[in-house]
């Protein structure tokens, strides 16, 4: 009998931290679990990444209420993955009126949101405790941009005393990644485009383009970043450490995938080949073993010319896992 997904055995609760980074910006982090960001203005509040379930979102709402009684009006979906978006209904119940996503994220929800929800719920039993509180897919009420990268399609939101710029800087973790940028305070909410000392999930990634998108983020010269996973980084030098960490993961992985594809390796052999370069550098970080099978599969596919990632279904998860077990 083959062993279970690494994430299925990850049942230990993580300690959450809610910390203020600047006059209006907070980070909600959880020892390598998905992070959220909070921007609190004089009139309204914005939450970046909604958490996996409404039950989980209630904890973040409680944290917010320790520092502000302003209405939570906006929820930003930095991308479409279930662990980031399915908690949105808790904010809607609090009175939120706008769920913001990029054109690319909206299209991905249409194309594969239902399959992703089922797949992720089966992969992450701890994160989806209370999954019965999820009313269904999270749909944006406001879709920004035309799918092309760059600030020309940006949205500026005034929360009262603080302005937030939202745009799609380029493909990477998905083809629809969206960031929130508080320029006056130099705080970047990157979603899973950037991680630090945690696994970088690339199962739906555009690996070839991702490094250029990271360089576009570097040009912002942020002083703070709330990455998708890992601790909030403070000071431009540490922001760059997170960018470098993510770039090293992506480039090391994709190089191994190209070598495996060129040599005609099967998936199990490609995994062993990739581990030679990835394990010594990243093998110690949180959710490494969970991410790597999906990452190797995607790197191998993209190296073979499959630019639009194949949809992960619960059945495909099992097929991939069986292939790796031999």
Strand bridging mode 25-30 / 179-182: unpaired
Closest CA to 220 of 263, 253, 181, 192: 181
Backbone angles phi, psi at 101, to 5 degrees: -150, 160
Indicate if the pLDDT at residue 93 is higher than 80. yes
CATH number at 27 reads 3.60.15.10
Lowest-pLDDT choice from 38-42, 117-121, 124-128, 297-301: 124-128
User: What is the mean predicted confidence (pLDDT) over 99-105?
Assistant: 98
What would the two tokens of residue 75 be? 């929820």
Positions of E strands within 192-262: 224-227, 233-234
Rg (CA), the chain: 19
What would the two tokens of residue 235 be? 């000071």
Q: How many CB atoms lie within 10 A of CB 297?
A: 24
Evaluate whether 2 touches 322 at the Cβ level (below 8 Å): yes
Could you report the per-residue pLDDT of 248-268, keeping only the tens digit for each? 999 999 999 999 999 999 999
How many domains, in total, are found in the chain? 1
Indicate if the pLDDT at residue 157 is higher than 50. yes
User: What is the mean predicted confidence (pLDDT) over 129-152?
Assistant: 94
Could you report the per-residue pLDDT of 165-211, keeping only the tens digit for each? 999 999 999 999 999 999 999 999 999 999 999 999 999 999 999 99
- Mean model confidence pLDDT for the chain: 94
Evaluate whether 190 touches 217 at the Cβ level (below 8 Å): yes
292 vs 213: CA distance, rounded Å: 22
Instruction: Give one DSSP letter per residue of 189-223, joined into a string.
Output: EEETTS-SSB----TT--TTTHHHHHHHHHTT--S
Query: Is residue 35 classed as helix, strand or coil in its secondary structure?
Result: strand
Would you state the pLDDT for residue 7?
46
Confidence grade of residue 124 (pLDDT, cut at 50, 70, 90): confident
Domain-embedded: residue 144: yes
Domain-embedded: residue 315: no
Indicate if the pLDDT at residue 9 is higher than 60. no
Share of residues in the chain with pLDDT > 90 (%): 87
279 vs 288: CA distance, rounded Å: 9
Domain-embedded: residue 268: no
Domain-embedded: residue 296: no
Indicate if the pLDDT at residue 84 is higher than 90. yes
Share of residues in the chain with pLDDT > 70 (%): 96
Domain-embedded: residue 94: yes
Helix axes 314-325, 288-303, angle to 10 degrees: 90
Domain-embedded: residue 297: no
Evaluate whether 208 touches 302 at the Cβ level (below 8 Å): yes
Indicate if the pLDDT at residue 66 is higher than 80. yes
Q: Which domain holds residue 128?
A: 6-252
Would you state the pLDDT for residue 123?
87
Domain-embedded: residue 289: no
User: What is the mean predicted confidence (pLDDT) over 136-162?
Assistant: 96
Would you state the pLDDT for residue 6?
47
Confidence grade of residue 10 (pLDDT, cut at 50, 70, 90): low
Would you state the pLDDT for residue 3?
53
Closest CA to 104 of 174, 207, 206: 174
Would you state the pLDDT for residue 4?
52
Q: Give CA 27 to chain center in angstroms.
A: 14
pTM attached to this predicted model: 0.95
Domain-embedded: residue 277: no
Would you state the pLDDT for residue 12?
66
Would you state the pLDDT for residue 1?
34
Could you report the per-residue pLDDT of 282-310, keeping only the tens digit for each? 999 999 999 999 999 999 999 999 999 99
User: What is the mean predicted confidence (pLDDT) over 141-151?
Assistant: 95
């Amino acid at each position: 009998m083959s062993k279970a997904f690494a994430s299925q055995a990850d049942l230990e609760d993580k300690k959450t931290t809610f910390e203020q980074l600047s006059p209006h910006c907070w980070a909600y982090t959880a020892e390598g679990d998905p992070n959220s960001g909070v921007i609190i203005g004089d009139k309204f509040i914005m939450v970046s990444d909604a958490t996996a379930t409404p039950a989980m979102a209630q904890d973040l709402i409680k944290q917010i209420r320790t520092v502000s009684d302003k209405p939570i009006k906006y929820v930003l979906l930095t991308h479409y993955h279930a662990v980031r978006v399915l908690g949105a209904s808790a904010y809607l119940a609090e009175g939120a009126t706008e769920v913001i996503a990029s054109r690319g994220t909206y299209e991905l929800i249409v194309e594969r949101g239902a399959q992703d929800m089922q797949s992720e719920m089966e992969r992450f039993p701890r994160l989806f405790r209370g999954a019965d509180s999820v009313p269904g897919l999270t749909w944006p009420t406001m879709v920004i941009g035309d799918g092309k990268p760059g600030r020309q399609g940006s949205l500026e939101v005034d929360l009262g005393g603080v302005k937030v710029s939202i745009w799609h800087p380029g493909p990477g973790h998905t083809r629809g990644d969206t960031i929130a940028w508080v320029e006056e305070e130099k705080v970047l909410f990157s979603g899973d485009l950037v991680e630090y000392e945690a696994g970088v999930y690339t199962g739906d990634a555009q690996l070839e383009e991702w490094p250029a998108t990271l360089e576009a983020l570097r040009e912002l010269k942020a002083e703070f970043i709330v990455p998708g996973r890992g601790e909030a980084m403070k000071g431009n030098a540490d922001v760059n450490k997170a960018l470098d960490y993510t770039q090293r993961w992506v480039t090391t992985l994709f190089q191994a995938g190209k070598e495996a594809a060129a040599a005609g390796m099967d998936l199990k052999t490609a995994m062993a080949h990739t581990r030679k370069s990835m394990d010594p550098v990243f093998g110690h970080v949180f959710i490494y073993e969970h991410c790597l099978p999906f990452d190797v599969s995607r790197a191998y596919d993209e190296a073979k010319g499959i630019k639009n990632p194949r949809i992960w279904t619960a059945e495909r998860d099992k097929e991939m896992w069986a292939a790796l077990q031999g």
